[in-house]
Every structure is written in C-alpha cells, then in structure tokens.
Amino acid sequence: MTNHETSEIMTALRKIVGERHVVTDPAELQVLGCDWTKIFFVDPLAAVFPASTGEVADVVKFCKEHGLGIVPSGGRTGLAGGAVAGNKEIVISLKRMTRIDPVDRVGLTIQCEAGATTQAVQEAASAAGLFFALDLAAKGSSHIGGNIATNAGGLKLIRYGGMREQVLGIEVVLPDGSILDMNSRLRKNNTGYDLKHLFIGSEGTLGIVTRATLRLMAKPRNVQLACIAVRNFSDITKILTIASMEGATITAFEFFTDVAHGIVLQHAQGARTPFQQRAPFYVILEVEDAVGGASVMEPLLEKLYENDVCIDAVIAQNSAQFKELWSLRENITESLSAHGHVRKNDISLPVDMLDPFIRELVDEVAKAPKDIEVVLFGHIGDGNLHINYVGPKSGDKKQFQEAARKVEERIFSLLPKYKGSISAEHGIGLLKKKDLKFSRSEAEINLMRGLKKIVDPAGIMNPGKIFD
Ligand code: FAD
Ligand code: MLT
Ligand code: ZN
C-alpha cells in the first residue's frame, strides 16, 4: 500500500469517526493491536474508535469496500490472541461505546453498549438492587462485547452459567456493514434458529457486537466464603461432592496450588496467607445460605474434617476478609505475569475425570524442562483447570514459549480420551488454532468454516482467528 493510499484511508476513517478518534501512531498501535498475551507480531494499519452503531457500520462498510481486514477490540484482556492485529488490519475499538440504559426492574434486564465494562454493568445492576452474574478478575477492563465474543466463563459459572446464559439479545454489525438487530428482551422466543448464539463465543470472526440485553437476578444474600487447605488433589472433588450432598448452594468453587499461592504472596501487594501452615492445595468455597435459614458453611466444614478431606479452613468473618480471601485467587494471573514468562492453558474435563487426568498430568510435568514451573489453578467446580507454564523472567521469551509449547502439546493430546476441551473459556484466537483438532471433529470444523464463509465471504472479520 502506498503512502498516498494509506493517507486516503485515514482521511475517510476520520470523516466517519472524527479527527481525534483514529490512531496511527506506531507506539500506540503496538498496544491497541494486542491483547493480554503479548506474544504475537503486532502491526495494525490504524485503530478507530467509533461512538455509535452507525459509525461502526460505516467503518465496516468502508473496510469491506477497500478489502481491509478488521480486528474487533474490547478491553484487550483476552488470553488467546483474539484481539491481535498483525497484518495491517483496522482495529475497531468499542471503548467509546459505554452507555448503560436504566435497569428494567420488572423484567430483570439491562441494556448496554458493547464497550461498557463488566464491572460497570455489575455496578449498575447493584445500584438498582439487582445482580449481574458474570464475574472475572479482569472485570474492571473487560468489555461486555468482549465477554460475549469470548463467551467468558469466570468465577460464578458453577451457579449462574457463563456469558451465554446471561445474554438475552444482541445487536451485531455484520462483515458487510449491515446491522443485525437481535437485541430482544424476551426470555422465551422459539422462532427458528436462535442466531445470537452463533455470535456468542465467535471471537469477533462473524461480526461486531455493538449492544446487548443482559439478564439480571436478585442479589444473592447471606453469602459465605471459606478458604480450605487440602492435602491431596483427589480431596478437592470429594469436597465438591460432599458440599453438594449436604445441600449447599455453591456460588463458587475455585482451587489453586501452593505454588500459585506462593507467587501471589510474593507479588500481590498486601497479600498474606490465612494459614499458619501451608498446604499443597487450597479451595475457595462460596455458598449461599437460605434467607433466614441456618448457616451452611460451619456444619459443612465439620463434615469435611470428619471425612478427612480438609487440613484447615478459614471462614471470612467480614467484608474485608471476604475480599482478602477472594484476592488470593483473583490475583493469580497478574502475579504470574509479574513472576516470569507465562504460557497459559485453559482446559476442561468432565469433573469426575479430573483425578485420573491429574495423575497423567503429573507424569507429563515430570518430563518437562526443569526451569519450567507448572502452576495449577482454576474453576475446578465446573471442570475448568488452568495450567500455566512459568519460566524465569531472565530467560529468553521466545525459547521459553517454544519449550512450553512442547509440554502443552503433549498435555492437549491427552484430552480426547477424556472428552475434554483445549479451551474452557478463553477461546482459540491465534494461540490454539493448531489445537482445535484435539477438541472438535473435522465435521464440526468444516461446518464452522462453512458458516464463516456465509457470514463473511470476503474473510475480513478478524481474519486468521480460530482457523485460517
Ligand atoms: P478483548 O481481549 O478485547 O477481545 C477478546 C476477543 O473478543 C477478540 O477475539 C476480539 O476480537 C473479540 N471482541 C472484543 N470485543 C468485541 C465486540 N464488541 N464484538 C465482537 N468481537 C469482539 N476469561 C474468562 O472466561 N474467565 C475468567 O475468569 C477470566 N479471568 C481473567 C482474569 C484476568 C486477570 C485476565 C487478564 C483475563 C481473564 N479472562 C478470563 C480473559 C478475558 O478477560 C475474557 O476473555 C474477556 O471476556 C475478554 O474481554 P475483552 O473485552 O478484554 O476482550
Ligand atoms: C482466571 O481464571 O483467573 C482466568 O481465566 C485468567 C487466567 O487463566 O489466568
Ligand atoms: Zn479462568
């Protein structure tokens, strides 16, 4: 592309979104064209910041007419290289589209533009006395559009489902620039294919989500939280079973290893362990008591001690302790990044297959290079295990990624026999394209490709993500 052509493109984009809302500065583009992964080549042509669905549609139409690739971009907290522009694409960021409409307290819904952050929607719901159920440590930065595009899972999926379960309707700008209005507030609507589900989890490859209608619910009351120290991994699934058998309404069931705990204590400001003696594993268990009913947590912990699946446990006594215990889990991702080079796996298995899988994982990890530390944590109550390979910051980033990739590949190849998934919640993006075959059959991948061709025949919408 000649300088003259580039400058004409910029002039046209500025006409659509305004002079100040097109970025071409190379240093800024390195940030705007990249997500949290920071391991891929980044080289967008420009980043644009539309203020309305109409402007998004006009930018997309322009890109289509000029054969320009588009990378939809939200809070850029994605962990799969989905919002990465490495081939002179136009990054379309929804950062200016943050409007949240007044809460519908009768139908329990909220409508917002896709650039609203997850936390802003949680807060708007809370201010209206209600609750938005998606929760993740990136909530302050991640956008509702990004949550929809990745079908984010998060910390409360075990109780409320993931993003898909929170979405009633969406508005999407398709790759030809037309606007598909599926932004319904209906809870029930069996009128043919429910097309919104095609876009949820499609990682920006089929269109740009510009607005959404989300489900709200009553605020959970009498929520109790415990951090439980555990001796063996197999005790974790036993705790889950006992909690369910005791009739606990589990709102979160997370775990992390002592290695993860140590890294958080080292890097997260103010973090301290609640235990006098450290244990190999910890469970974060959140339960909801029935309104006016007796407390569930204390008798449950007694049961766990009786069954010898718990070494020690701490119950949060006030909101400060509640936050402190949660932060031990929520600070893992940032602490790992501060600690060293990281390669992330985000697998899921049927919950009853976790024990045998972990035994095989331990054997594989024993064969890994000694300078790769394997850190485990995740949403274990729903079968989602985060395996993070961590290498020393002083080492070469590229070499580390290559070495960790070899271990990762061996671990992915274990998954088909457990009918597990290589990505529970982060998605495929650029990071796991090669590995899609471990979780999806050829027939499924061909159907996905066919659908992509129908919706985006020119292949301009987030090109090269999920599959080539
Ligand atoms: P981005 O990173 O900007 O984009 C992600 C993908 O969505 C890209 O493919 C992009 O092209 C596409 N996209 C973005 N906006 C739109 C749009 N409006 N229309 C169409 N496509 C779009 N994920 C979980 O599932 N569970 C967790 O618990 C969790 N915890 C996290 C904790 C931390 C500290 C971090 C850094 C990440 C975590 N993530 C988690 C990953 C990430 O936060 C989620 O994937 C989130 O949904 C991404 O939102 P985003 O707005 O940052 O999207
Ligand atoms: C989490 O559960 O904390 C997130 O998915 C982020 C991560 O895997 O690091
Ligand atoms: Zn997660």
Which of 267, 333, 379, 408 has most ligand 2 atoms within 8 Å of its beta carbon, as the pocket-test mutant? 333
CA angle 176, 180, 182 (to 5 degrees): 160
Give the pair of three-digit tokens for residue 330: 């929520």
- Ligand 1 proximity of 204 Cβ (cutoff 6 Å): yes
List the one residue out of 137, 99, 128, 129 whose CA is nearest residue 116: 99
What local confidence, expressed as pLDDT, does residue 289 receive?
Answer: 84
CATH code for 109-218? 3.30.465.10
CATH ID of 223-330, from 3.30.70.2190, 3.40.50.970, 1.10.1660.10, 3.40.228.10: 3.30.70.2190
pLDDT at 292 over 80: no
- How many angstroms does the Cα of residue 341 sit away from the middle of ligand 2? 15
In degrees rounded to 5, what are phi and psi of residue 353? -95, -5
Which of 73, 92, 97, 156 has most ligand 1 atoms within 8 Å of its beta carbon, as the pocket-test mutant? 73
CATH class of the domain comprising 333-425+432-442: alpha beta
CA 91 to chain centre: 20
- Ligand 1 proximity of 346 Cβ (cutoff 6 Å): no
End-to-end CA distance of the chain: 23
Distance (Å, whole) CA 334 – CA 337: 5
Distance (Å, whole) CA 335 – CA 260: 9
List the one residue out of 83, 60, 126, 166 whose CA is nearest residue 427: 83
360-387 tens-digit pLDDT:
999 999 999 999 999 999 999 999 999 9
pLDDT at 40 over 90: yes
What local confidence, expressed as pLDDT, does residue 108 receive?
Answer: 98
**β-strand partners of 156:** none
- Ligand 1 proximity of 120 Cβ (cutoff 6 Å): no
For residue 97, count other CB atoms closer than 10 A to its CB: 23
CA 65 to chain centre: 33
Distance (Å, whole) CA 74 – CA 97: 10
For a pLDDT cut of 70, what percent of the chain falls above it? 100
Q: What is the mean pLDDT of residues 327-351?
A: 97
387 touches 376 (CB < 8 A): yes
pLDDT at 452 over 90: yes
Q: What is the mean pLDDT of residues 280-298?
A: 89
Which of 56, 118, 142, 466 has most ligand 1 atoms within 8 Å of its beta carbon, as the pocket-test mutant? 142
User: At which residue do the structure tokens 């052509």 appear?
Assistant: 5
Nearest Cα residue to atom 8 of ligand 2: 386
One fold for both 3-93 and 109-218? no
Task: Provide residues with CB under 6 Å of ligand 2.
Answer: 137, 332-333, 344, 346, 378, 386
Domains of the chain by residue range: 3-93, 109-218, 223-330, 333-425+432-442
217 touches 130 (CB < 8 A): yes
CATH class of the domain comprising 3-93: alpha beta
- How many angstroms does the Cα of residue 291 sit away from the middle of ligand 2? 32
- Ligand 1 proximity of 145 Cβ (cutoff 6 Å): yes
The rounded mean pLDDT for the chain is: 97
386-426 tens-digit pLDDT:
999 999 999 999 999 999 999 999 999 999 999 999 999 99
What local confidence, expressed as pLDDT, does residue 293 receive?
Answer: 72
pLDDT at 47 over 90: yes
pLDDT at 5 over 90: yes
Q: How many CA atoms lie within 13 A of 162 on its CB side?
A: 18
The pTM for the full model equals 0.98
Give residue 294's pLDDT band: very low, low, confident or very high (50, 70, 90).
Answer: confident
Give just the sign of the alpha carbon dihedral 453, 458, 464, 468.
positive
45: amino acid identity, one letter: L
Q: Atom of ligand 2 at shortest distance to CA of 333?
A: 9
